[in-house]
Structure 1
């Protein structure tokens, strides 16, 4: 028996699946560009050369990882009968999502890094998942805009893949199912007409070169993808020579971090304004919801970039941005904890993130068309996820 034959006999038959299972958490933790084939190979316990026998390049591996979660969700839909009802269907989807929490965040990069054909195929699969949940919502609940409610409910469930709050498995499952049901049962037209009345602080007019660079860079990042935009392109957008931009920002990641911090500051101001004169925890949560929805509709470009790229920032740049995000979540925890005192701190935090997931998916479903009606509708869905009736 030759060496090759011995090696082949020892090679697990499911090695390709083992590679995909190992790669998902690496992509989720490092980002597409931060992940390496060598790191994935090390997680599997094989050489990089062995990995390349299964996948010719990182992109091919990423495509399979990006499809893995949605393929599993489609399988759940196929296996569930109408008899389980909407609660049973949502629980099965939540179970599958929690089983692969560490790798589920890969979907956040699909629109940015997949080629057009692969992106279209993946989005078609996600649409089929939404279709399946929409059918159950229409059948059991009726009401208006069932597809929007279905997509937002899936956003509540999928949110667990985008943060690291430690929470017991069964508690997380019960919480996600309850949040998703709350969204499905909400009526997008039921929120008080407050979203259209929220006015965020105006982004300051650029009064310096640094500010001009920030203003020019984010649309470029959103349109082309952060890795594909060069410092030279940003410099030309503000009328600087390529070398001059480095006097203001030594590396491109500094620009993204600064933009995220600037926007976090605007959100903090908006929250402060929203809570002024508000009495009681319930009204405070409603005010926070309206302010966050307004912020999301007004900052879609930056949110889409930050969602995909923050994990790839160096730790020293990522840390202050993450701290600002945690401080914002802490405000929600304080007020929601008073409205829902039966929840502990981890449950409350998980529920807040579920609400954020609802806003993202509902906003996408509405193509982020910024109208008062859309803001109010998304606010109603967010409050439904939190268990705070509109």
Structure 2
């Protein structure tokens, strides 16, 4: 099997859709000797902020000379980055090796049980557990959940720390229509005796989480209660327990990034307190400050100014709009937008319309991409258009600022275009 054949086999499983539940994962993992039991894992769930929080923690641990594996989704530049070590994607050879291990277990499950076929995400999750739990052990593995928590494919290991970054109305067709429904699913990350660092704004949801924490005899560490974040111009002060760090200046902009960084710092400090990590705090903060995460208010061109951001639901779009208003109020913002099915489209384009001088919609080559015609109908803006060739549109742009946003899958396409442009390929 070569690399492309391996990727094709994985991607073929997209047609099996999303199948919540962990029974298939448990069967396949047992078949492979339960590699998930061998990792020192940190489980990160939430509607928004997961990827950034994972990156903050990974960078801070790397600064303290720990080797860190990460599992993230979706990928922005290359498929392999979903399974990475110290920020570097696994090699093509390693990916092929993992497929050759996981494929027989998946096929055996189809033949020997009535559990059905493994989904694409389940296969990739299996590969991650095999890589870090059997083939290439690391000091820590930070596992980003895919969808929800309780029934997510990643929810099959006992972590040393759990983090819940946020709760918002996303994937409502699967997780439920209310914040409390989604909270009940996300709270599935809580394990007996394992601390949870979390940020939840809704009072009813917070009360539910505290009840689950109490039932599991697990410590809750809550932003704005136990963790105090005090912004000061572009910097912020962080307080938790007896810790007090001043003048933290992030490489990523926005109030939401300060919150994500604060969750990461608190989780690392709790690991330190519990003897699960030995940290030099100066190195930890330096690691946090120098963290970047592709596709999050990322400048991909300065002349002209082009910014990309994978805001793909209400909460992330509101954070993007607020940040753009604060950081670029002097700019005339041109918006290029695309989205996939199942998102609160009207709300998202209405928010974007607040900052857009002109609003342009497009579609891209992806199974769930919405047509530009469908998106166009939802946009209420006096200066709007449909873009057939978004690459040509970007190349011809000569305005103040082009903001390209919407689906993370769309942002991945734009990011790859700029990467190829930079390398001349």
So what's the TM-score if we normalise by structure 2?
Answer: 0.23
- Higher RCO by CA contacts (8 Å cutoff, separation 6 or greater): 1
Higher normalized strand content (fraction of residues):
2
Higher normalized helix content (fraction of residues):
1
